[in-house]
Structure 1
Amino acid sequence: MASAPTGLPIFYNDLLPLSSADHADYRNRALDAAPFLKDQHAVPLTVDEFVAAQRFLPIIFSAGEDSVPLALMGLNEGVNIFLDEEGKLRGPTYVPAYVRRYPWMLAKLRPDSDELSLCFDPTSEALGTFEEGQPLFEDGKPTELTQGVLKFCEDFEQAAARTGQFVRELQELDLLMDGEVAIQVPGSEQPFIYRGFRMVNEEKLRDLRGDQLRKINQSGMLPLIHAHLFSLQLMREIFEAQVQQGKGPIAGADAPQPAQA
């Protein structure tokens, strides 16, 4: 069996390539909880999801040179206001494709090849030799379920490539800046300050030359930028939900830098 790739992204404890020989009897069963997500406050997001996600989740960019868009499900590390202690959704929200993809992903098995193989996290409770669930293989061939999983992962990789290009263009236009959000709470002398992320600089966006503005409008970037900026208004709602759930931050503490994928 091929060895698993190193440098695993968040959520993944291990990776194995799916094999009709080794996993002929494996099934996929539906789970009503995502315990791996309940302590994760920031989740990678693709640009394809910005418009849908901005109704429910603040969209920020991770700090550092290699910024990636992140959907905030909490403002402090280890806090996710949308899931209960069992990892079940508390109510309606947008669940990022990165989460829905788990425990699957496409990965390189050989460093000298660009070929991607469908892999899975063997520690996931969704996959195994169960009595219940849908089979991954029938007569040695991938089932419709497995083919659908592969298509979803392929679409995700394509969206991730578009996201990388989007961020590179933001950086080329020097539109990303270090973000800071201050939330004043009644009864507290000092506001709660959140840093450690990046956001679009609205002043620089307004000052773009006509040709630059025309370019990002024609490329479809402008609506995505606006979705990101509009979503930041939700940070106060996330903060208030944390307080209501007894997960509010310590006064005067800065938010830690969100984890990257």
Structure 2
Amino acid sequence: MASAPQPQLPLFYKDLLPLNSRDHADWKVGTMEDAAFLAQTHAVPLTSDEFIDAQRHFPIVFTAGDNPLPIALFGLNEGVNTFMGDDNKLTSAVYVPAYVRRYPFMLAKLRPEAEDLSLCFDPTVGIIGKRDEGLALFNDKAEPTEYTQGVLEFCRRFEESGQRTKAFMDELQKLDVLMDGEISITRNDQPEKPFVYRGFRMVDENKLRELPLDTLDALNKNGMLILIHAHLFSLNLMRTLFERQIALGKMPVAPAAVN
């Protein structure tokens, strides 16, 4: 079974195999008992479709660089996830980004020049294989089961959401309303030593207010303005996330940046 081309695997994925009825006719999917793959992750990719749901739980910011992407912050420092318990399970009823929910599956090109995407999976996750219990991937006729069809449809919708997210980010860059973010948070017991977080981008509210009325009207009609506001509202959770780290005893020795 040949792995799909993988010059650089996405977050969480350690390997990728294309799913097919020849090699995986009798394979099943078991239950993922925990989310160990997420335990040391402080930032998760987010689609613009999820902003309204996610902004109630996480700060939503954008990555630095020439091609910024939205991310949900689970922690303010590298390797810190404030929503995971010692058992590698989510500790509260929190919104789970679609990027996390699709794992260990994803759509990928089997060849760089290919136009079509194929359903692939990470075989290292350990829940997919020849096993007595679990959900079958293919039926006796070597056809995808209802479960597999559901996974494929979810991954297709995720890719469509990715295209809408790209259009949203392209519009933000076109309008030139993004700026380098910086947030300073002070502990009550150490007011003289603020923790300064940088290395992300955010919408500049001043530039947003200065946009022409017809541009703001267009953003309102196409649904992008409410997404911008969701992002801005979510920034109020930076302090909440900071306090979660304090409660968990996961503060750095010295102030560090969000990477």
Q: Tell me if both proteins adopt one fold, taking TM over 0.5 as the criterion.
A: yes
Q: Deviations over 1:63-118 (max 9, x none)?
A: 00110000000000000010113310111111100000000000001112211000
Q: Does 1:159 align with 2:161?
A: yes
Q: Does 1:196 align with 2:199?
A: yes
Indicate the residue corresponding to 1:217 in structure 2: 220
Q: For residue 21 of structure 1, what is the amino acid of its counterpart?
A: R
Secondary structure (helix, strand or coil) at the match of 2:208 reads helix
Of the structure 1 ranges 36-45 and 3-12, higher mean CA displacement relative to structure 2 is found in 3-12
Q: Deviations over 1:95-150 (max 9, x none)?
A: 10000000000000111221100000000122111211110011111000000000
Of the structure 1 ranges 126-135 and 6-15, higher mean CA displacement relative to structure 2 is found in 126-135
| Mapped contact 1:12–1:121 kept (Cα < 8 A) | yes
| Mapped contact 1:45–1:71 kept (Cα < 8 A) | yes
| Mapped contact 2:3–2:15 kept (Cα < 8 A) | no
Secondary structure (helix, strand or coil) at the match of 1:132 reads coil
Identical residues among aligned pairs (%): 59
Indicate the residue corresponding to 1:178 in structure 2: 180
* Whole-angstrom distance in 1 between the partners of 2:84 and 2:4: 30
Deviation at 1:61, TM superposition (A): 0.2
* Whole-angstrom distance in 1 between the partners of 2:93 and 2:144: 33
* Whole-angstrom distance in 2 between the partners of 1:53 and 1:256: 19
* Whole-angstrom distance in 1 between the partners of 2:87 and 2:123: 20
Secondary structure (helix, strand or coil) at the match of 1:227 reads helix
| Mapped contact 1:193–1:254 kept (Cα < 8 A) | yes
Secondary structure (helix, strand or coil) at the match of 1:225 reads helix
Q: Could you tell me the TM-score, scaled by structure 2's length?
A: 0.97
Deviation at 1:177, TM superposition (A): 0.5
Secondary structure (helix, strand or coil) at the match of 2:5 reads coil
* Whole-angstrom distance in 1 between the partners of 2:211 and 2:184: 27
* Whole-angstrom distance in 2 between the partners of 1:126 and 1:159: 27
Of the structure 1 ranges 141-150 and 4-13, higher mean CA displacement relative to structure 2 is found in 4-13
Q: Could you tell me the TM-score, scaled by structure 1's length?
A: 0.96
- Gaps spanning 5+ residues in structure 1: where? none
Number of residues of Structure 1 aligned to a counterpart in Structure 2: 256
Q: For residue 70 of structure 1, what is the amino acid of its counterpart?
A: I
Q: Which runs of 4+ in 1 moved over 6 A?
A: none
* Whole-angstrom distance in 1 between the partners of 2:131 and 2:82: 32
Deviation at 1:256, TM superposition (A): 3.7
- Gaps spanning 5+ residues in structure 2: where? none
| Mapped contact 2:5–2:112 kept (Cα < 8 A) | no
What CA RMSD, in Å, does the superposition of the two structures yield over aligned residues? Answer: 1.0
Deviation at 1:2, TM superposition (A): 4.4
Residue number among 240, 243, 250 corresponding to 1:240 in the alignment: 243
Q: Deviations over 1:139-185 (max 9, x none)?
A: 11100000000000000000001001100100000011000011011
Secondary structure (helix, strand or coil) at the match of 1:22 reads coil
| Mapped contact 1:2–1:109 kept (Cα < 8 A) | no
